[in-house]
């Protein structure tokens, strides 16, 4: 147990409130927090630059989609900053970042379609050619799937594959946050039951994206859709899968407790600092991807 001015925290899993957090920090810990603050301010500055460039020079057909896509990075960075300075909001901030990501995922699909001037235009350009459904991550378990012709109905199914992730995740995470307010002790147990549904919906959405991108790239290679998808998808990797891995790795080390910096606070802070740096780098990458080549369509096949 760590005592801070008559306030007792569990050294391993204690999560202080805002007052306890800042009161219990020593000089070195306070200076460490300057690092994520600097990353965050640079991310916001880059976002404002992206915003001005896209509003001024962006193409009308995709401007709204691109604005939403580049907004994803500062929103995730903001939730990360809040969770650092207000430790008890960690789960809520993580939920907000995740919900924003899954909602934005549909905007990325809309961006791809708007870049090719609509589904009907692409069907005409492709001249009824067939496409394969064997795409990651379902290419191995769906060997029975055959090639199919490009139709409006197929695009509808691709849209459903992407949209279902947003619907399912918003419902599940909203429900879990309500439970977290009422009874935080049951959240981890509930998450174990929800995880299979979350993973399956993510795999289906990624499958839908992979089919769509593999379908469009041969005709519109200049759009850099694969790079844009990677810049978008890395947000999920960095914010959901990376923290789990870092948590497992860092728990292998011996940690001491100083003031309000309990073990769980140290692990979460290190993780969020890494995420802040990653959001800055992704914002920079998005700047080059979306402002230098914002959907100038050229049929290349």
- Domain 2-291 classification at class level: mainly alpha
The alpha helices in the chain, defined as continuous H runs, are 18-24, 27-32, 34-57, 63-85, 90-115, 119-126, 152-182, 187-216, 225-236, 242-250, 263-291
Q: Which residue has the tokens 């594959």?
A: 161
pLDDT band at 218 (very low <50, low <70, confident <90, very high): confident
Query: 145: which DSSP letter?
Result: P
Q: Parallel, antiparallel, or unpaired for β 148-149 and 130-131? A: antiparallel
Q: What ranges do the domains of the chain cover?
A: 2-291
Provide the pLDDT for residue 123: 84
Does residue 137 have a cis peptide bond before it, meaning omega lies within 30 degrees of 0?
yes
pLDDT at 286: 93
**Summary mean pLDDT of the chain:** 85
Cβ proximity of 211 and 133 under 8 Å: yes
pLDDT-derived band at 94 (thresholds 50, 70, 90) equals very high
pLDDT tens-place string over residues 149-195: 788 888 899 999 999 999 999 999 999 988 888 887 788 888 888 88
3-state secondary structure of 11: coil
């Amino acid at each position: 147990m760590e005592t801070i001015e008559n306030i007792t925290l569990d050294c391993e899993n204690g999560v202080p409130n805002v007052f306890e957090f800042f009161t219990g920090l020593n000089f070195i810990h306070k200076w460490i927090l300057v690092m994520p603050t600097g990353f965050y301010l640079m991310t916001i500055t880059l976002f404002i630059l992206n915003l001005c460039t896209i509003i001024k020079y962006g193409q009308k057909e995709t401007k709204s989609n691109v604005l939403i896509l580049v907004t994803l990075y500062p929103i995730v960075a903001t939730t990360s900053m809040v969770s650092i300075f207000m430790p008890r909001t960690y789960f809520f901030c993580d939920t907000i970042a995740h919900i924003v990501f899954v909602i934005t995922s549909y905007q990325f699909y809309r961006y791809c379609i708007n870049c090719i001037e609509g589904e009907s235009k692409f069907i005409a350009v492709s001249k009824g050619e067939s496409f394969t459904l064997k795409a990651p991550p379902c290419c191995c378990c769906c060997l029975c799937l055959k090639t199919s012709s490009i139709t409006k109905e197929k695009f509808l199914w691709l849209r459903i594959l992407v949209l279902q992730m947003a619907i399912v995740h918003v419902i599940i995470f909203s429900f879990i946050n309500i439970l977290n307010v009422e009874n935080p002790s049951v959240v981890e147990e509930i998450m174990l039951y929800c995880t299979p549904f979350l993973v399956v919906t993510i795999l289906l959405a990624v499958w839908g994206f992979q089919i769509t991108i593999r379908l469009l790239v041969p005709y519109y290679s200049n759009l850099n859709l694969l790079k844009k998808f990677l810049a978008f998808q890395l947000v999920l990797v960095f914010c959901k899968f990376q923290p789990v891995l870092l948590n497992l790795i860092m728990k292998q080390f011996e940690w001491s407790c100083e003031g309000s910096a309990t073990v769980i606070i140290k692990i979460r802070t290190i993780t969020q600092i890494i995420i802040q740096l990653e959001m800055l780098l992704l914002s920079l990458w998005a700047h080059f991807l979306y402002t230098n080549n914002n959907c100038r369509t050229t049929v290349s096949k």
